[in-house]
Amino acid sequence: MEVKKVVDDDPLCSLVMDHSPEAFWKELVSRQTALYKEAHSYSYHGALWEKPEAETVFPLVRRAMFESTFRSAAKLSGLQTFDLRHESDYPYVLVKTKKLIMTAHHVEAPGWFVRLAASRKQNAAVNKHLDYYVRSELLLQPLPDLKKCGRVNLYVLHGQQWDDEDEKIFTPFLQVAIPDVDLTKYSRVYEVRELLQFYAQKAVTPQPEVRVADRAIPRIKKANA
């Protein structure tokens, strides 16, 4: 899936930025690399098992640590968090804002699609109205006002691109992906680090000067009699 450039005139990108605090994304980015290293160290250097068991444990520990970080970053930013379970009884964290429903997923590579699950299908159902933004044949019809529509379901995709797997040297990636209602593709994918750059740019962009009309009525001061 092609990563979309973060631009000011993309209504979906604006929706994500307007309804998720910069501090939330900063917290995830700042803790991601150390989190992976800690999960690896715990899994491979503990005394309770050997390498074959460590290979099984590592993905579970990594996932658990990121889910915990996902929850704590949301709470620090004043967002709602919910501890839910898939049909298989597997736990996951869901974060809600006024317009967003967010879940986190470790994937093999940037833009990798998450596995199908009943709960993910249910969450993605709210994205039905986004068809108008991604299907070119519908562009002749009026676009719905995203500010008046319901919530949007998005995924926080995280993972590692290995520079040297033997030496455990990697570059982390963190993306925002918006799935289509049928969970067959992503309608949009944005790089979180690029989102943070855009937050910073918007913060320093000078705001247009607001001119206040001068409605004062001059009065002639009368001389004392």
User: Each residue of 155-183: pLDDT tens digit?
Assistant: 999 999 887 766 667 899 999 999 988 88
Q: What is the mean pLDDT of the chain?
A: 83
Q: Which two tokens stand for residue 90?
A: 């597997």
Mean pLDDT of 56-81: 96
Q: Which of 53, 4, 14, 33 lies closest to 159 in space, CA to CA?
A: 33
pLDDT at residue number 225: 47
Out of 58-72, 108-122, 135-149, which region has the weakest mean confidence (pLDDT)?
Answer: 135-149
10 Å CB burial of residue 47 (0-12, 13-18, 19+) is exposed
Residue 153 tokens read as 């379901």
> How far is Cα 173 from Cα 49, in angstroms, rounded to an integer?
29
Q: In what order do the strands lie in the sheet with 80-85?
A: 80-85, 91-96, 100-106, 152-164, 169-179, 186-191
Distance, in Å, from the CA atom of 96 to the CA atom of 78, rounded to the nearest integer, reads 10
88-120 pLDDT, tens digit each: 888 999 999 999 999 999 999 999 999 888 888
Range with lowest mean pLDDT among 1-10, 31-40, 143-152: 143-152
Query: Taking a C-beta distance cutoff of 8 angstroms, is the pair 190, 198 a contact?
Result: no
CA distances from 11 to 18, 82, 89, 196 (A): 10, 27, 36, 17
Residue 138 has pLDDT above 70, yes or no: no
Q: In a 3-state reduction of DSSP, which class is residue 186?
A: strand
58 contacts: CB under 8 Å, gap ≥ 6: 39, 40, 43, 44
- pTM of the shown model: 0.81
